[in-house]
Amino acid sequence: MTLHYQAAVLNEARSSLRVETVAAAPLAPSDVLVGVRAAGLCHTDLEVIDGSLGYPMPIVLGHEAAGVIEDVGSAVQRLKKGDHVILSWNPHCGHCYYCDRGLPILCEDYLAKGPQAVQFDGTCKARHASGEELKHLMFLGAFGEYCIVPEQQAIAVTRDIPFDRASLIGCGVMTGVGAALNVARIGRADTVMVIGCGAVGLAAVQGARLAGAAKIIAVDIDADKLALAQRMGATQGVNAKKEEIAAIARRETSGRGADVVIEAAGSAAAFRTSIEAVRPGGELVWLGKIDINTDVTFRWGALMQEKRIRRSSYGEARPARDFPMLAQAYLDGRLMLDELITQRIRLDAINQGFSALRDGKAIRSVITFG
């Protein structure tokens, strides 16, 4: 019998999402059916809504989610009904040029199929009641009561972590904490600057704390976010509207600049500032995004002196390793997640949730189901 459920569908860019009844596809042998219990509203979803990131329509967005395994395909071995899982948006083949080199984020199948908004086998996992295929963002499409994904995208975690907090681990938290723990090489005497204190930046602040950084300078233009960053481990908060950021970095490091700068603001100005603020020989990790066709200019001298620049999309995530670790860090009190949730909303309030994100009024709005 076909499963019908409610999902938020985007039929065209620069329009509102509509909650509609959709039909699930049959499970492929390696698929699992996930009952979504919580899904976070992320800037990447907003980019698709606003048209700066193009995807085929109609589409079910949502790529930061947690839930329960409701059914499994005939070839599934690792998961069973009832398992609590966090979803990962980076499936990978495991044997292409990039997978063989330990770069699953560049998997050739992932990069080829992602823009098509289909699974690796070219299929869609949901349809309109009329029979029209629904695409799904980043191999998930989690803004619905259910989603179907390959087994590798559902990572079992302890039942002790609440779903709304667990959902954040699947994107924003993994990206920010991973930038500090997996990408940057942070030493215990280092000064780390994090530019941008949204969900990803606040996770990066916590990652720098977990890595043992001596100083963590948080930068934003919102006083409340800076105060929260200091609760999460920043040793100093700097308002970018009131102070010259690169000068602060040099002042706090005997004139050198920060050892590591993590940019999580996603603006041309923040990218330029990050280059000026890092010391000679220091590390720069860019997490933020702007429109892919936008040019960003830099002062050439700021790029000199052996600075190491790295763009990271997922914090070098190894979900099977990292998601359970981050869930346990939350349960142990070492990772703060409650404070990242500005509001919990129902599916029918999703457009208001994205308005709050667009206006900078929410760190994370989380849709809760059930």
**Residues 46, 225, 342, CA angle at the centre, nearest 5°?**
55
Q: What is the CATH number of domain 4-156+337-368?
A: 3.90.180.10
Write out pLDDT tens, residues 186-205: 999 999 999 999 999 999 99
Q: What are phi and psi of 38, to 5 degrees?
A: -160, 145
Tokens encoding 157: 């975690």
Write out pLDDT tens, residues 62-71: 999 999 999 9
Secondary structure class of 195 (helix, strand, coil):
strand
Taken in order 179, 184, 187, 191, the sign of the CA dihedral is negative
Asked whether the predicted pLDDT for residue 119 surpasses 80, the reply is yes
Asked whether the predicted pLDDT for residue 112 surpasses 80, the reply is yes
Helix (H) or strand (E) segment spanning residue 309: strand 308-311
Taken in order 110, 111, 116, 117, the sign of the CA dihedral is positive
Asked whether the predicted pLDDT for residue 292 surpasses 90, the reply is no
**Cβ neighbour number for residue 12 with a 10 Å cutoff:** 11
Looking at residue 27, its pLDDT comes to 95
**Residues 107, 111, 113, CA angle at the centre, nearest 5°?**
115
Secondary structure class of 196 (helix, strand, coil):
coil
DSSP letter string, 260-272: EEEE-S-SHHHHH
Looking at residue 131, its pLDDT comes to 85
What's the pLDDT band for 229 if we cut at 50, 70, 90? very high
DSSP secondary structure letter of residue 114: G
Asked whether the predicted pLDDT for residue 209 surpasses 90, the reply is yes
State in words which class domain 176-311 has: alpha beta
Q: Can you tell me the distance from the alpha carbon of 279 to that of 259, in angstroms, rounded to the nearest whole number?
A: 6
Looking at residue 291, its pLDDT comes to 87
Average pLDDT over every residue of 35-42: 98
Tokens encoding 3: 């499963």
Strands 4-10 and 31-40: unpaired
Instruction: Decide: residue 90, CB within 10 A, 0-12 exposed, 13-18 middle, 19+ buried.
Output: buried
Instruction: Describe the crossing of helices 223-231 and 199-211 by its angle, rounded to 10 degrees.
Output: 30
What's the pLDDT band for 355 if we cut at 50, 70, 90? very high
What's the pLDDT band for 130 if we cut at 50, 70, 90? confident
What's the pLDDT band for 309 if we cut at 50, 70, 90? very high
Average pLDDT over every residue of 207-228: 98
Mean pLDDT, the chain, rounded, equals 97
Average pLDDT over every residue of 16-42: 97
Q: Can you tell me the distance from the alpha carbon of 328 to that of 320, in angstroms, rounded to the nearest whole number?
A: 13
Average pLDDT over every residue of 42-61: 95
Looking at residue 1, its pLDDT comes to 80
What's the pLDDT band for 45 if we cut at 50, 70, 90? very high
Question: CATH 3.90.180.10 region(s) of the chain?
Answer: 4-156+337-368
Share of the chain above pLDDT 90, in %: 96
Residue of 289, 85, 86 lying closest to 168 (CA atoms): 86
Average pLDDT over every residue of 326-344: 98
Q: Can you tell me the distance from the alpha carbon of 311 to that of 296, in angstroms, rounded to the nearest whole number?
A: 14
Question: CATH 3.40.50.720 region(s) of the chain?
Answer: 176-311
Average pLDDT over every residue of 254-283: 97
What's the pLDDT band for 211 if we cut at 50, 70, 90? very high
Looking at residue 47, its pLDDT comes to 95
pTM: 0.96
Strands 215-220 and 126-128: unpaired
Share of the chain above pLDDT 70, in %: 100
